[in-house]
Amino acid sequence: MNARINHVLGFGGAVALVVALGPGPTLSQLGGPFTPVPLAISATPNGTGFTYQGQLRKNGAPVNAACAFTFGLFDAAAGGAQVGPAVVSPTLQVSNGLFSIALDFGPGAMNGEARWLEIQVLCPGDGGPVLLSPRTALLPAPYALALPGMRTPRGNNDANGDATINVIGGTVSNTIAPDSFLSVIGGGSHNAIGKDSGGSTIAGGNTHVITDVSYNSTIGGGYSNTIHGRSAGAVVAGGISNLITGNSDEATLGGGANNRIDGVSTWSALSGGYANVITGSIFGAIGGGYVNGVGASNSGVVAGGALNAVSASPYGAVAGGYSNTLAASSVSAIAGGEFQRITGSGFASLGAGKNNAITASDGAAIAGGEANTLANSAYAGIGGGRANALAGGGYGVIAGGWDNRIQSSPYAAVIAGGISNTISASSYAVIGGGFHNQVLNGSTLSVIGGGANNSADLTSTLSFIGGGDINAIRRQQLQERYRWRRVQHHSRRQPLQRHRRRMGQSDLQRE
């Protein structure tokens, strides 16, 4: 059943226009009850046109003539701006006052905002075109009210040549390029799915963009998020000003603000936080935090914290803390703390602490403490303490203390603790603790148990000082002691030999 509305104005007598919307897919003439005629289901999407039907009367009698009609679409009941081009039919047949015409004001004309139809008519015998007033409001069908503002513009044909559509909700500022077919914008404003990004979705929010061969990608919401640069299958769940770009297929960015995944970071994930970046890192991950970065580090991870970085360190990880850095150190880890650094050291690890550093020392570890350094010492370790240093001492250990040092001792030197103790150029040497004890200059396998200011020096191999204060062993002392012992032993041997000779002679004489 068609609903009707009458339009009456003076024109050489009363002219009335009764118009009604026919069985078009989306619009009806009145806001009252309306029963649409069901359409056959078809794989071909609807265009932007609709069928308009009306009844034209002149002086109360139905018109029977071919009349010229001009239809214009406007965004206001009076004045306003015209939407789309006018539709002109110079010889529209009116029979018994009834006429029907297909109207199409172009893509975007019916965008969910209010529209009014303005009609001019010129029939035989009229002195000029008659502008019918007032304009006719175009109202939605009741079932269409469930999806206010929803539009279904036609997209390009798919790879099989089948026709496709896109679905757009929200304001008229949302757009989908025709070559991004089978895409959806659920709502919001100023969102766009652009070039070659078919199958993509923007669920809502404002000022989002998916474009540049980023097909099958998704932006969930938020504000001003972007997926482009051939990042197919990428996801930005929300947040503000987040970006996935640079061939980062199937990367995921959870939220936060000003975060970025780029540089072929395929399958990477950034959960949130602020100004975090994953670049050139397949399977890279940042859990959150502030200004953290993973760069050129496949499977590199920064779990959180601030200003932490994993750079050129595949499988490297920084668990948290502040301003910690992994550089060129694959399969290495920093547990936390602040201002800690591992450089050029595979399989190395730093615990918590502050200002600790490992450089060029594969397999090395510093468990904690402050300002401890380990350089050129593979598989060496510092347990903690402060300002301890181990350089050129593979397999060496400083367990703790303060200002203890192992240097140029290639193998397995150990300082258990204390203050300002030193082992230099003495492999397998040990200082148990104390203060300012030293094993120096090739005193391999030497031991100082503790005390203060004790030293083993000048290649004093296999020396031992148990403790005390200011004890020293030097090679010269060892040589002099050895010579004294030899002289003493020789002087004891001479009388014994003479005695044995005499005893031997006496025995012979008895026989």
Q: How far apart are CA 388 and CA 398, in angstroms?
A: 7
What size, in residues, is the chain?
511
* 239-243, 354-358, 440-444: the lowest-pLDDT one: 440-444
Condensed to tens digits (0 to 9), the pLDDT of residues 263-280 reads: 999 999 999 999 999 999
**432: alpha, beta or left? (left if phi > 0; alpha if psi -120 to 50):** alpha
Structure tokens at 372: 């401890």
Higher per-residue pLDDT: 108 or 201: 201
Q: Is residue 420 part of a domain?
A: yes
Token readout for 400 is 């703790």
Residue-wise pLDDT for 365-385, tens only, equals: 999 999 999 999 999 999 999
CA distances to 39, 331, 347, 348, 426 from 363, in Å = 73, 10, 5, 5, 21
Q: How far apart are CA 447 and CA 456, in angstroms?
A: 8
Residue 35 gets the label, from left (phi > 0), alpha (psi -120 to 50) or beta, of: beta
Q: Tell me if 16 is assigned to some domain.
A: yes
- The answer to whether the predicted template modeling score (pTM) of the entire model surpasses 0.75 is no
CATH number at residue 109: 2.60.40.2060
Domain edge (last residue) among 146, 170, 199: 146
365-366 and 5-10 beta bridge pairing: unpaired
The reply to whether 324 falls in a domain is no
Q: Is residue 309's pLDDT more than 70?
A: yes
Whether residue 440 is contained in a domain is answered as yes
Give the per-residue pLDDT at 410.
86
Give CA–CA dist 228/247, Å, rounded: 8
User: Considering the domain boundaries, does residue 430 fall inside one?
Assistant: yes
For residues 74 and 82, the answer to whether their CB atoms sit within 8 Å is: yes
| Identity of residue 128 | G
AA identity, residue 456: A
Can you read off the two tokens belonging to residue 212? 């540049």
Last residue of a domain, one of 118, 146, 174: 146
Q: Is the separation of the CB atoms in 369 and 356 below 8 Å?
A: yes
Query: Of 115, 146, 177, at which residue does a domain stop?
Result: 146
Six token digits for residue 440: 């120096």
Q: Tens digits of per-residue pLDDT, 85-97? A: 999 999 999 999 9
Q: How far apart are CA 204 and CA 225, in angstroms?
A: 11
Q: Between 289 and 58, where is the model more confident?
A: 289
User: How are beta strands 164-165 and 154-155 bridged, if at all?
Assistant: antiparallel
In a domain, 165, yes or no: no
Q: Which domain holds residue 135?
A: 5-146
More confident residue, 118 or 488: 118
- Note whether residue 415 is domain-resident: yes
Give dist(CA 165, CA 168) in Å, integer: 10
Q: What is the pLDDT of residue 494?
A: 56
- Taking the C-alpha atoms of residue 506 and residue 153, their distance in angstroms, rounded to an integer, is 135
pLDDT at position 215 is 92
- Please choose, from the candidates 385, 390, 387, the residue with its C-alpha nearest in 3D space to the C-alpha of residue 348: 390
Return the exposure string of 415-439: e unless at least 16 CB atoms fall within 10 Å of the residue's CB, then b.
bbbbbbbbbbbbbbbbbbbbbbbbb
> Across all residues in the chain, what is the average pLDDT?
85
Whether residue 443 is contained in a domain is answered as: yes
Q: How many domains does the chain have?
A: 2
Distance linking the first and last C-alpha atoms of the chain = 160
